[in-house]
Amino acid sequence: MIAHFERPLSALELPGKVPLGTFPTPAHRLDALCTPQTAVYVKRDDRSGELYGGNKVRKLEPLLFDARARGKTRLLTVGAAGSHHVLATATYGRAAGFEVAAVLVPQPGSPHVVNNLRASLGRGLEPICARGSHEVPLQVLAHMTPQTAFVSLGGSSVLGTLGYVHAAFELRAQIEAGELPEPDVIVTALGSGGTVAGLAVGLEVAGLGARIVAVAVSSPVFVLEALMARLVRRTARRVGASPARALARVRVEGGFLGEGYGYATAEGDRATARAAELGLTLDPTYTAKAFAAALAEVARLEAASEPRVLLYWHTLSSAPMAPLLATAPAELEGELRDLVR
């Protein structure tokens, strides 16, 4: 039952948005995964945008609005070379009329990662190569100008996180419209933390009861957890929600990480094959690990004494890459190549 919360969305101090995405994203049942005790649903944030989908779109809407409102004409962000965040920022930043630069750190190469980097360059990204995270702060300082808005790693500032506070209200409207039952558990990936933090605060404010299994995709896990917790506290304060209650919903799951950020795992590969049968495409870095954890959670819930509803929140773009690659360089050269070896 949805608690009728005292605070409608309109009462929250929410920022404006540059409308980039297609919302609400669909939510539907995954029949093949349902068990006697557990109904399994998916929230399709893979379809959050025409040009490019995934979870970065919701964060960029308030971030680009804010940059524009402050009269900025250029965005500078940070991320792994070939990251979804950098590609999303290049795609939507350029479409909204900004110049876009990013400090890029190396990550293990894969065809997916190489294509993301090529597509980012094709969208007009100004790449700034760093040899490791230790070089990021100096490179950022060196490339800031008065016209530049800095966009945090993964878009996970308080402002970007508010995009996922909104998403919880979108979910509530879908529950109220009968598109899905109220979930008991939401499973999603935990990277820079904005998705999980925004949902944790948003569920709280929207009066939904779900807890969140946040599947860590990089190490050390305790640092990831601390950064997410900080984001929950700052975002909760911003919208007047209880930080403690929002945080109490989240359990960080560190058991699906494998060797670390960007490294595939056998469990993730199996989850990817299973998801493909259901029409969902996963990536090795984030969603393979999150979906593997969701499958494990479904199995665990079988021991529960009453029926449960699990919602897997899908965060990887499923927009076709061909249009984004049409303007991309055929090959990566020099320093850029070395970033994704």
Ligand X SMILES: *Cc1c(COP(=O)(O)O)cnc(C)c1O
189 near 149, Cβ under 8 Å? no
Minimal distance, residue 197 CB to ligand X, in Å: 8
Cβ closest to ligand X, residue 198 vs residue 308: 198
Residue 55 lies near ligand X (rule: CB under 6 A): yes
End-to-end CA distance of the chain: 50
Site residues for ligand X, window 284-313 (CB under 6 A)? 286-287
Cβ closest to ligand X, residue 38 vs residue 152: 152
Minimal distance, residue 35 CB to ligand X, in Å: 25
Q: For the chain, how many residues are written? A: 341
Q: Tell me the chain's radius of gyration from C-alpha atoms.
A: 19
Minimal distance, residue 287 CB to ligand X, in Å: 5
Q: In 45-176, which ranges are E strands?
A: 74-80, 99-105, 126-129, 148-151
What does residue 299 show for φ and ψ, rounded to 5 degrees? -65, -40
Instruction: Pull the structure tokens for residue 31.
Output: 């029949």
Cβ closest to ligand X, residue 106 vs residue 163: 163
What does residue 238 show for φ and ψ, rounded to 5 degrees? -60, -35
Residues 6+ apart with CB under 8 A from 220: none
Q: Where are the alpha helices (DSSP H) in 179-251?
A: 194-206, 221-239, 243-248
Render 265-328 in DSSP notation, one character per residue: -HHHHHHHHHHHHTT----TTTHHHHHHHHHHHHHHHTTSSS-EEEEEEE-S--S-SHHHHTTS
Minimal distance, residue 249 CB to ligand X, in Å: 15
One of 21, 49, 93, 154 touching ligand X (CB under 6 A)? 154
Site residues for ligand X, window 84-123 (CB under 6 A)? 84-85
Binding segment toward ligand X, per CB under 6 A, in 177-185, 193-201, 237-245, 257-265: 193-201
One of 152, 195, 218, 235 touching ligand X (CB under 6 A)? 195
Instruction: Pull the structure tokens for residue 79.
Output: 């991320």
Site residues for ligand X, window 207-236 (CB under 6 A)? none
Residue 38 lies near ligand X (rule: CB under 6 A): no
Minimal distance, residue 165 CB to ligand X, in Å: 13
Minimal distance, residue 258 CB to ligand X, in Å: 16
Residues at the contact surface with ligand X, assessed by CB under 6 A: 54-55, 84-85, 154, 156, 189-196, 283, 286-287, 315-316
